[in-house]
Structure 1
Amino acid sequence: MYLNPKSSDSSRDQRAYIGWLGLFQYQKNLKLLYEIASKLPHEYFLVAGKESNDIDSDTLYYLDKLKNLQNVQFYGFIKRDQVLPFLAKAKFLLNTSHYEGFSNTFLEAMVVGTPILTSTKVNPDAIISEFNLGIVYSNAADLITQLEQLSPKAYELMSANVLEYVTTNHDHRPLTEELLSFLDCSKPINNRKRTMSQLCNT
């Protein structure tokens, strides 16, 4: 995935909604999405996605309940070139999954300065909490409490942090330079490649 980190509006007030995107399936935990959206009636939620081929009855049940909430709108299936514009207008990217690795949507949200809301079950290598890239919550009530306590300044800091994190750790340009620097030092010795420490000390 090609990343081009760029500043977006870092003010929470200038962003329109809390964004959620993914397939509608058990793993994505639409029950938790419903609990959060129903407890935040003054927040607007924009849900992008479509039903998976093997959608389960629990997901269908909460999908129907979500459609009846006045503060939830369904965007439909989102194409790859629509992801960044969708996330750039979001106050937060909301993750409600039961389990997940390092989601591409996390990186895509960071690229446009959008902080992440995710549960304690989906906080890969604890980066969201360690680098202050958003809010890590234990349940819907905990998330609501943390959102109520979040100041505009704290939000702007999170937005700046996600841009800095993705630029430092996932931008292809400095990573390519680092790789090229390594390859310049990788000269064979006794038909084997030297280790990095050997190379840098010669």
Structure 2
Amino acid sequence: MAEVIALIDYGAGNLHSVHNALKVVGEAVGANVSVTADPQVVRAADRIVLPGVGSFKACAEGLLAIDGMVEAMTERVHVGGAPFLGICVGMQLLATRGLEHGSTAGLDWISGEIRLIEPSDPAIKVPHMGWNDVALMPHAKDHAVVEDGEAYFLHSYHFSASNPKDVAAMTDHGEGLVAAVARDNILGVQFHPEKSQAYGLATLTRFLEWKV
């Protein structure tokens, strides 16, 4: 029976592009993508993907506005062990809190804060936008999903993780910025795999094949 990937619909701006990319790789590995705002679908899913663009505050409020969704995600991921992928702000929502437009609580699945990118060199532009390297951390060299490569980024805030072991990959934009976080069956990527051409599709394929 084909696996079901729950792509959570909470009004995120990159939902459709992520859906299209997941459909392409899903067909290749025999998985079905379900765009859903139904907590019961999430509870029954084999894998969960949380997209996200825009402000941390707006995304957090949008997710919380769906009655029972955070509880369903938590149950399926932390109790059921389903592989989870957060993309861009979907990755940032894994943090303890975001500091965009004040302090807003995150899921607190991976301890840390989402802070404004403040490069010491004024020539470095914010937002961090365009293609950049993804470099795995030494302790994550055997990660089953993220690999060294080049991906597309678009963000003004970055994940400052409390525990360096939760950082799976870094990129550089005037300073080191977190490109991916990972713990157990939870993965978040700051870059946009749906905009990262062959590298992005390969990343999504590995996520769908990931055995935790």
Give the TM-score category using the shorter length.
0.3 to 0.5
Give TM-score, length-normalised by structure 2: 0.40
Give the structure with the larger helix fraction. Answer: 1
Give the structure, 1 or 2, with the largest relative contact order (CA under 8 Å, sep 6 or more).
Answer: 1
Give the structure with the larger strand fraction. Answer: 2
Give TM-score, length-normalised by structure 1: 0.41
In our comparison, the structure showing a higher alpha carbon Rg is 1
